[in-house]
Amino acid sequence: MVTNPSIDTHPLSAEVGQEPLLAVDNLHVEFTTRQGVVRAVNGVSYTVHAGESLAVLGESGSGKSVTAQAIMGILDMPPARIPKGEIRFRGTDMLKLSDQARSQIRGQRIAMVFQDALSALNPVFTVGWQIGEMFRVHRGMSKRDAQKKAIELMERVRIPAARQRVNDYPHQFSGGMRQRIMIAMSIALDPEVLIADEPTTALDVTVQAQIMELLAELQRESNMGLILITHDLGVVADVADKIAVMYAGRIVEGAPVHDVYKNPAHPYSKGLLDSIPRVDQKGQELYAIKGLPPNLLDMPSGCAFHPRCPYRRDNCVTDVPPLYEISGTRGSACHYYREVLDGTLG
């Protein structure tokens, strides 16, 4: 049990002997707005290894997407700024690379699938043209070859009658099919890391199940590292190897998925799990985390969760909890994580 307030290293990066593909290290992102500085990401660290699935779980506004956008280099700077932190791909800090070197990695070796497939696709080009563009631009292929590749990819993401549909426009596809097309584009260049930001949030459960199965299969085939951003505790339990729970721009708990669901080590993750309606609770009041998510312009002092925390003690209001290392693979940003784990706090 080491507590080390000065280094915010994530315990998930402690796996020995294997270098992570991607390591986000103490990342800070802020936005300058008219109301003031929004500290959207405040020291986030996580790692993904080949073949591994990391789920990033958190409420809206907790900084999940901004972290992903920082990795992809698609933040508008300004208003965004990265005052601190590193984003290492195979050991190299991408934030220090030249634009050209960086663009060799982003979009090619690290790719991203966005939540809203309809607005991410261009309505005036056929899907085949848009998938093919990856090959024309990055691989210098001819139009014909790129088109052939596009059909192959559409088949790989299981779009029925791909050959007939390659010249259709995005609006001619259903939401689930458009998400498949987005996935096809993202895996076109065989990325090593795939970031999926709420890839199924807008979709029905039956379609969600299709897409999640597809992602899992693609991951198995190519041993990609997968970062799955979601607010759905069910999706996390289904696919993730490990999980990073975010709150107010920080990781409050990071651990193998089984550990968190069995026995959460942070009051916020515990609250989320407790508020899932369970069959044996029918007719009873649901557990509800009280209060509202924090205002990032006016962050609570000390532990950002303290205004909502049932376990709060005096020092929580003043001392920012570091990410305490519980074991080699597990950490919690709660001063009282031991008591939370033992169930002796209340």
Ligand X SMILES: Nc1ncnc2c1ncn2[C@@H]1O[C@H](COP(=O)(O)OP(=O)(O)O)[C@@H](O)[C@H]1O
Point out which residues bind another protein (CB under 8 A).
Answer: 59-60, 160, 174-177, 204-210, 212-213, 231-238, 240, 257-258, 261, 271-273, 275-277, 279, 281-282, 285-290, 292-293
Tell me which residues in 259-278 interact with ligand SF4 (CB under 6 A): 267
Contacts of 144 (CB under 8 A, 6+ apart): none
Query: Of 199 and 267, which CB lies nearer to ligand SF4 in the complex structure?
Result: 267
Query: Of 72 and 121, which CB lies nearer to another protein in the complex structure?
Result: 121
Q: How far apart are CA 269 and CA 271, in angstroms?
A: 5
Say which entry of another protein, ligand SF4, Mg ion, none residue 305 contacts (CB below 5 to 8 A, set by partner kind).
Answer: ligand SF4
If one asks whether residue 40 binds ligand X (CB under 6 A), the answer comes out as yes
If one asks whether residue 58 binds ligand X (CB under 6 A), the answer comes out as yes
Q: How far apart are CA 187 and CA 163, in angstroms?
A: 19
User: Minimal distance in Å, beta carbon 83 to another protein?
Assistant: 27
User: Minimal distance in Å, beta carbon 63 to ligand SF4?
Assistant: 17
Query: Of 59 and 145, which CB lies nearer to another protein in the complex structure?
Result: 59
Identify whether 78 is preceded by a cis peptide bond (ω within 30 of 0). yes
Say which entry of another protein, ligand X, ligand SF4, none residue 18 contacts (CB below 5 to 8 A, set by partner kind).
Answer: none
Q: Which of 149, 305, 324, 330 binds ligand SF4 (CB under 6 A)?
A: 305
Tell me which residues in 66-105 interact with Mg ion (CB under 5 A): none
Chain-centroid distance of CA 117 in Å reads: 17
Q: Which stretch binds ligand X (CB under 6 A): 1-9, 33-41, 181-189, 205-213?
A: 33-41
Q: How far apart are CA 156 and CA 299, in angstroms?
A: 46
Which amino acid is residue 94, in one-letter code? M
User: Minimal distance in Å, beta carbon 94 to ligand X?
Assistant: 18
User: Minimal distance in Å, beta carbon 334 to ligand SF4?
Assistant: 3
User: Minimal distance in Å, beta carbon 73 to ligand X?
Assistant: 15
Write out the residues near Mg ion by the rule CB under 5 A: 65
Write out the residues near ligand X by the rule CB under 6 A: 31, 33, 38, 40, 58, 60-66, 79, 296
